[in-house]
A and B are shown apart, each in its own frame.
Chain A
Amino acid sequence: MPIIDAVLDDFFWRALIGGFGVALVAGPLGCFVVWRRMAYFGDTLAHSALLGIALSFLISVPLNVGVIITCVVLAIALVLFSRSRALATDTLLGILAHSALAIGLVTLSFMPDVRVDLTGLLFGDLLAMSRADLAWIYGGAAVILILLATLWRGLLMSTIHEELAKVEGIPVERLRLVLMLMFSLVIAVAMKIVGVLLITALLIIPAATARRLAHSPEHMTLMAMVFGFIAVGGGLSLSWHLDTPAGPSVVVTAFSVFLLVYGSARRAPS
Chain B
Amino acid sequence: MPEALVTLNQLSVALDGRPVVDRVNLRLDRGDIITIIGPNGAGKTTLIKAILGMQKITEGSVKLAQALTIGYVPQHLSLETTLPLTVRRFMSLSGCASAQCQAALEKTGVGHLMDSSIHHLSGGERQRLLLARALARRPDLLVLDEPAQGVDINGQAALYDLIRQLRDELNCGVIMISHDLHLVMAATDRVICLNQHVCCSGYPADISHDPAFIETFGQPVAESLAVYHHRHNHQHDLHGDVVSGKTLGDEHSRECDHAHH
Which residues on A are within 8 Å of B, measured CB to CB? 34-37, 153, 156-157, 159-161, 163-164, 166-168, 208, 211, 214-217, 219-220, 268-270
Contact = CB atoms under 8 A, between A and B. Distances in A.
A268 B86 CA distance: 12
A90 B85 CA distance: 28
Contacts of B124: none
Contacts of B52: 163, 166-167
A150 to B, nearest CB: 15
Contacts of A160: 79-80, 83, 85, 90, 93
Contact of A156 (B70, B74, B82, B93): B93
Contacts of A166: 52-54
A270 B86 CA distance: 7
Contact of A163 (B54, B93, B116): B54
A163 B119 contact: no
Nearest to A208: B82
Given A269-B117, A270-B117, A35 B70 contact: no
Interface of B: 52-54, 70, 72, 74, 77, 79-80, 82-86, 89-90, 93-95, 116-120, 133, 137, 143
B84 A214 contact: yes
B236 to A, nearest CB: 40
A167 B83 contact: no
A10 B85 CA distance: 43
Nearest to B133: A164
A35 B83 contact: yes
A159 B80 CA distance: 9
Contacts of B94: 168
Nearest to B130: A164
Nearest to B92: A153
Contact of A270 (B54, B74, B84, B133): B84
B72 A215 contact: no
A168 B117 CA distance: 23
Nearest to B77: A161
A153 B95 contact: yes
Contacts of A215: 84, 86
